[in-house]
Amino acid sequence: MPPSSPVRAPSNVPASSPSGPSLAPSLNLAVIGNCQISALLDAAGSVVWCCMPRFDSTPVFDALVHAPDGRADDGVFSVEIEDFVRSEQAYDPGTAIVRTRLFDAQGQSVELVDFAPRFITRDRPYRPAQLVRRIRPLTGHPRVRIRVRPRGDWGRAPPITTSGSHHLRYLLPELTLRLTTNAPLTYVTDGSWFVLHKAVSLLLGPDETLDDGIEETARRFEEQTALYWRHWTHRLALPLEWQDAVIRAAITLKLCQFEETGAIVAAMTTSIPEAPNSGRNWDYRYCWIRDAFFVIRALNSLSEVGTMESYLNWLYNVIRSAPDGHVQPLYGIGRESLLPESMVDGVFGYRGMGPVRVGNQAYEHFQHDVYGSVVLGAAQAFHDQRLFRQADASDFQALESMGEQAWRLHEQPDAGIWELRTRARIHTSSALMCWAACDRLAHVATRLSLPERASLWRERARTIRIKILERSWNGERQAFVESFEGQDLDASVLLMGEVGFLNPQDARFISTVKALESTLCDGYFMRRYEGRDDFGLPETSFNVCTFWHIDALARTGRRAEAREYFEAMLARRNPLGLLSEDLAPATGELWGNFPQTYSMVGIIHSAVRLSAPWDSVV
């Protein structure tokens, strides 16, 4: 029986907004950044989210969670055209530079070019906490309005504003910003309409003077940033098919890396609900250990060694600093271990659907799958001769502490991969990843010519494997279930195929895939689990689960179906080619924090697996 959800064909047509900037908020957003900061722009080119001076800082623009009706007067950096009727928006190919065109009722138009500077100078990356906006008239004599309304303390602290000859300074509780521009400062301060006769530029960032003229600096920054990204894209190993989707996913994954430490955040936002009015609002501006295996595998498949090695270095820092071998589910981007969760008073939330949370209580959880994720990810460094520093026997000894934890905890209850807050079970996915830790340590020990250690880890992996096969298999459901001696189905058991626990042609794995399809799939899209959690039954599908399903389809020989499901997922990307964490199958609308690293990794992995080979056309 074919899936019930309709599919719209993927499109590379630029995003278009049929109405004005007061459009209700959605996740039809573009992301710009430079691996130090990032910003989200809506379809009309307004910056509605930006944290400075780093991803997890208090936002200076937060209209995304402050304007339930889409009419944001504060927490926004907007460029508007009078009598606005529509917009077009797209990335410059192969870059993180966004181009937005605004049209008025008379057919006049302006173009906005937005980016965060990033290029190499003096043999090191130049990536200031700065946004650059370039505005030029395209047709006619359009009137525009520029509004720069940063706020501190989550909207509760308007800035003290001072001005110079060509700049405005915004003094916020957390930092001071300088806007340097050749636009009329009075018009910017007052938010007045004026005729745009010539191009103007706005550079917002550290309270520092420019070395050169405003237009010259903005032009040079744009040219060098474009050149950087095109060179970066040029080096990627791409599949034959779906290259546009993979390039955009790869750039977005790179933008999610805080390059100073190598950490990669789960998403750029906090508190975008997983489903409407669900209360499932979490802060994702941190680095989750469970992502390690998937992120490293995606980067490796693209041959993006620099980003991968930087992330591996961050991961090894986590391993070597883990007290008594204990690893938290997540850390801050500076490897902060304390991330206390609180709710922000007086903030509406996305579309008015609060609460807005800062921090994440999950750092306190015990999630035993993290040890397998660490070992799976870190093992790359023992096998990859491209790395500047290959892992050695000392690194293996540190990694064995992760294996010891996995062995000790493999049949102990935990919060599980989905971070359940009010119950603990022996989760199949956690035991599975503990098996993976022992199994990969055996492989590494063999590579290092340590036969006794290899034998020890191989025997431990065998013991855990027997327990999983006996205790997670449910004969009544004809499927592996979410916990030992459990009843409920859970998409995370699909990882049995991804980590090599079972041959995908095993009848039990094939039966499990079919059981999950009949229970968890809404058309092409898969929910996480069928049981109730702390907030009730899940309403939306979880994008990474859909990608796991696509992988399972391919592994079990259903390749044509896998390609069909993958095309359906690509069709649900927003007009800029990005995905959040969740989507509503009935409408295709995106929900959850944005852009989601897990989801972008899913695009890369599925495209690489499903693409026709290059030798089919050469």
Categorize the per-residue pLDDT at 423 as very low, low, confident or very high, splitting at 50, 70 and 90: confident
> Does some domain include residue 229?
no
pLDDT higher than 80, residue 535: no
Helix (H, G, I), strand (E, B) or coil at 548: helix
Last residue of a domain, one of 158, 179, 213: 213
Q: Is the same domain home to 106 and 157?
A: yes
Instruction: Check residue 324 and give its pLDDT.
Output: 85
Gap between the terminal Cα atoms of the chain: 37
Instruction: Check residue 532 and give its pLDDT.
Output: 80
Last residue of a domain, one of 158, 182, 213: 213
Q: Is the same domain home to 239 and 209?
A: no
- Expressed as residue numbers, the domain containing 460 is 235-612
pLDDT higher than 60, residue 7: no
- Look at 59-73, 305-319, 482-496 and tell me which has the smallest mean pLDDT: 59-73
Instruction: Check residue 5 and give its pLDDT.
Output: 36
Instruction: Check residue 582 and give its pLDDT.
Output: 97
Q: Is the same domain home to 440 and 587?
A: yes
Q: How far apart are CA 171 and CA 157, in angstroms?
A: 10
Radius of gyration from C-alpha coordinates of the chain: 25
Tell the residue number behind the tokens 């916990």, with chain if given. 483
Instruction: Check residue 3 and give its pLDDT.
Output: 42
Categorize the per-residue pLDDT at 6 as very low, low, confident or very high, splitting at 50, 70 and 90: very low
Instruction: Check residue 10 and give its pLDDT.
Output: 35
Digit-coded pLDDT (tens) for 608-618: 999 999 998 87
Q: What domain count does the chain have?
A: 2
Q: What is the CATH number of the domain that holds 598?
A: 1.50.10.10
% of the chain beyond a pLDDT of 90: 89
pLDDT higher than 60, residue 567: yes
Instruction: Check residue 68 and give its pLDDT.
Output: 74
% of the chain beyond a pLDDT of 70: 95
Digit-coded pLDDT (tens) for 133-167: 999 999 999 999 999 999 999 999 999 999 998 99
Q: How far apart are CA 102 and CA 541, in angstroms?
A: 34
Q: In whole numbers, what is the pLDDT of the chain averaged over residues?
A: 93
Q: Is the same domain home to 245 and 144?
A: no
Instruction: Check residue 588 and give its pLDDT.
Output: 92
Digit-coded pLDDT (tens) for 375-422: 999 999 999 999 998 999 999 999 999 999 999 999 999 988 887 776
Q: Is the same domain home to 535 and 600?
A: yes
The CA–CA distances, whole Å, from 238 to 125, 246, 418, 614 equal 24, 7, 31, 10
> Does some domain include residue 4?
no
Helix 559-571 vs helix 543-555: crossing angle, to nearest 10: 160
Q: Is the same domain home to 26 and 165?
A: yes
> Does some domain include residue 312?
yes
pTM: 0.94
Return all residues near 587 (Cβ < 8 A) that are at least 6 apart.
Answer: none
Q: How far apart are CA 213 and CA 442, in angstroms?
A: 60
> Does some domain include residue 230?
no
> Does some domain include residue 11?
no
Last residue of a domain, one of 182, 213, 244: 213
Categorize the per-residue pLDDT at 9 as very low, low, confident or very high, splitting at 50, 70 and 90: very low
